[in-house]
């Protein structure tokens, strides 16, 4: 069959590869001038550093099948994400761990003592936290919440943490030992020559044709047996019901002669600092040596129509609108909506790849009867 894929990010690449290997003819249209979507990496011409152009990307997963898959197309170098945060004139370790707690309170608590101490700070009257703020107050108490979460979250999301769901904070653990690994997944690493080289290898198959600088229009889908669409869900319908809200990011690039901050990611917990974090890209490749350095200050703001959508907002208004778009999509024949934009969800790379694998297998089983969504957006 002839298949059209919209978007040459991880979703499009993984689906395209599987369908091409199964003998289908795959065309991928991509509006940007490069593949790999938001994972795109590029060597900086001034410094030679590999830059994560759309923000820092660390590969981490518990999914052995996905780990095997990415290792087929890239050599993964050992990498552990160790994030620091600046607040109140000091640098602390994240996620909140025993070091953070002892430093913050000027104590030398052992694990059990720290657990009991934090439980004393926590607001135990909150039984079933629904909001970000309640989740923080329940699990770390007001001091740590104010220092590390409140200001950062207001900057990141543009609303009060009391208006955000608890699920956003649940992504971050609190540890009562000195483990400062940001993720707790079994596998973690960084592709040796960047994510774009990995995606290029996934796409390197005689059954796949990639057309860059090509924006999808619905008319394009007509000559194909099936379309997999990894662009924005509302965009497919020309925003006819309104726009799903996103946060976008602005990156302010600067170079430094030497080592600017000594780590890859430094967060800024206070609202008075206008950016959320600074990424120093050379620290993502500790196996390389570079004298110069390139850093990105990261600012978050509301996404306007011409901006790149990064984080889906998924508050009450968006969820209602999303339900309407899902209903429209479900009436659309021979189109499957995939990926972080097609399903309007925050998806890590490993989940994106797993869902793309499932979408491809579903298509190989059901053909044109493949549903609009293989992974439910609601």
Q: Is 201 a catalytic residue?
A: no
Where do we find the tokens 């820092």? 56
Selected catalytic residue, list 115, 247, 297, 334: 247
Of 55, 142, 158, 292, which lies in the binding site for ligand FAD, with binding defined by CB under 6 A? 55
Is there binding between residue 7 and ligand FAD (CB under 6 A)?
yes
* Least distance CB 114 / ligand FAD (angstroms): 28
Give the interface segment with ligand FAD, choosing from 51-59, 109-117, 173-181, 199-207 (CB under 6 A): 51-59
Alpha helices in 7-165 (DSSP H): 10-21, 64-73, 98-105, 111-121, 132-139, 141-144, 151-157
Q: Is 280 a catalytic residue?
A: no
Q: Which two tokens stand for residue 158?
A: 């543009």
Is there binding between residue 172 and ligand UDP (CB under 6 A)?
yes
Instruction: Please choose, from the candidates 73, 324, 348, the residue with its C-alpha nearest in 3D space to the C-alpha of residue 192.
Output: 73
Q: How far apart are the first and last CA of the chain?
A: 30
Long-range (24+ apart) CB contacts under 8 A made by 283-287 are: 284/50, 284/52, 284/56, 284/58, 284/79, 284/190, 285/49, 285/50, 285/77, 285/190, 286/79, 287/77, 287/192
Where do we find the tokens 């956003």? 168
* Least distance CB 62 / ligand UDP (angstroms): 16
Distance of CA 184 to the CA centre of its chain: 16
Q: What is the DSSP string of 116-158?
A: HHHHHHS-TT--S--BHHHHHHHHTHHHHIIIIIIHHHHHHHS
Is there binding between residue 215 and ligand FAD (CB under 6 A)?
yes
Q: Between residues 41 and 267, which has the closer beta carbon with respect to ligand UDP?
A: 267
Q: Is 17 a catalytic residue?
A: no
57 binds, among ligand UDP, ligand FAD, none (CB under 5 to 8 A by kind): ligand FAD
* Least distance CB 2 / ligand UDP (angstroms): 37
Alpha helices in the chain (DSSP H): 10-21, 64-73, 98-105, 111-121, 132-139, 141-144, 151-157, 167-170, 194-203, 233-236, 316-330, 339-342, 349-366
Is there binding between residue 31 and ligand FAD (CB under 6 A)?
yes
Selected catalytic residue, list 43, 72, 110, 171: 171
Is there binding between residue 70 and ligand FAD (CB under 6 A)?
no
- Which residues 308-347 are close enough to bind ligand FAD by CB under 6 A? 310, 339-341, 347
Selected catalytic residue, list 44, 134, 298, 350: 298
Q: Is 175 a catalytic residue?
A: yes
Q: Which two tokens stand for residue 316?
A: 């009450």
- Which residues 211-270 are close enough to bind ligand UDP by CB under 6 A? 267, 269
Q: Is 171 a catalytic residue?
A: yes
Q: Is 298 a catalytic residue?
A: yes
* Least distance CB 50 / ligand UDP (angstroms): 19
Report the DSSP pairing between strands 187-191 and 2-6: unpaired
Size of the site for ligand UDP (CB under 6 A): 13
Distance CA 206, CA 212 (A): 17
Q: Between residues 8 and 321, which has the closer beta carbon with respect to ligand FAD?
A: 8
* Stated length of the chain: 378
Selected catalytic residue, list 64, 110, 317, 346: 346
Is there binding between residue 216 and ligand FAD (CB under 6 A)?
yes
Of 35, 94, 233, 338, which lies in the binding site for ligand UDP, with binding defined by CB under 6 A? 94
Distance CA 12, CA 228 (A): 8
Distance CA 356, CA 344 (A): 15
What are the C-alpha distances in Å from 156 to residues 28, 270, 276? 33, 11, 7
Asked whether the beta carbons of 255 and 49 are under 8 A apart, the reply is no
Is there binding between residue 284 and ligand UDP (CB under 6 A)?
no
Q: Between residues 19 and 168, which has the closer beta carbon with respect to ligand UDP?
A: 168
224 binds, among ligand FAD, ligand UDP, none (CB under 5 to 8 A by kind): none
* Least distance CB 58 / ligand UDP (angstroms): 9
In the complex, which residues of this chain contact ligand FAD (CB under 6 A)? 6-12, 29-32, 37-39, 55-59, 215-216, 230-231, 235, 310, 339-341, 347-350, 352
Q: Interface residues with ligand UDP (CB under 6 A)?
A: 85, 94, 148-149, 152-153, 156, 168-169, 171-172, 267, 269
Which residues does the annotation mark as catalytic? 171, 175, 247, 277, 298, 346, 348
């Amino acid at each position: 069959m002839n298949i059209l894929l919209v978007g040459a990010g991880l979703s499009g690449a993984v689906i395209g590869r599987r369908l091409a290997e199964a003998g289908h003819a795959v065309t991928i249209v991509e509006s940007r001038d490069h593949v790999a979507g938001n994972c795109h990496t590029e060597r900086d011409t001034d410094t030679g550093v590999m830059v994560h152009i759309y923000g820092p990307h660390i590969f981490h997963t518990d999914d052995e099948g996905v780990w095997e898959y990415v290792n087929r197309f890239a050599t993964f170098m050992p990498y552990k994400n160790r994030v620091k945060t600046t607040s109140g004139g000091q640098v602390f370790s994240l996620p909140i761990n025993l070091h953070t707690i002892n430093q913050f309170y000027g104590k030398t608590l052992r694990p059990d003592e720290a657990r009991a101490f934090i439980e004393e700070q926590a607001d135990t009257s909150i039984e079933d936290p629904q909001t970000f703020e309640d989740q923080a107050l329940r699990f770390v108490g007001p001091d740590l919440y104010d220092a590390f979460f409140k200001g950062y979250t207001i900057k990141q999301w543009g609303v009060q943490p009391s208006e955000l769901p608890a699920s956003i904070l649940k992504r971050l653990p609190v540890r009562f030992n000195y483990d400062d690994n940001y993720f707790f997944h079994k596998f973690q690493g960084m592709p040796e020559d960047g994510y774009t080289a990995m995606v290029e290898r996934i796409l390197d198959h005689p059954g796949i044709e990639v057309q860059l600088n090509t924006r999808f229009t619905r008319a394009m889908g007509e000559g194909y047996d099936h379309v997999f669409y990894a662009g924005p869900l509302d965009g497919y319908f020309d925003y006819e019901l309104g726009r799903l809200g996103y946060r976008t990011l602005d990156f302010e690039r600067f170079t430094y002669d030497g080592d600017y901050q000594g780590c890859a990611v430094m967060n800024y917990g206070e609202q008075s600092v206008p950016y959320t974090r600074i990424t120093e890209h050379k620290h993502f490749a500790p196996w390389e040596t570079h004298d110069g350095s390139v850093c990105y200050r990261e600012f978050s703001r509301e996404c306007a129509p011409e901006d790149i959508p990064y984080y889906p907002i998924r508050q009450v208004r968006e969820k209602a609108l999303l339900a309407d778009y899902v209903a429209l999509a479900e009436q659309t024949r021979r189109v499957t909506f995939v990926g972080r934009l097609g399903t309007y969800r925050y998806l890590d790379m490993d989940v994106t790849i797993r869902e793309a694998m499932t979408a491809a297998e579903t298509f190989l089983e059901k053909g044109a009867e493949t549903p609009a969504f293989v992974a439910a957006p609601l």
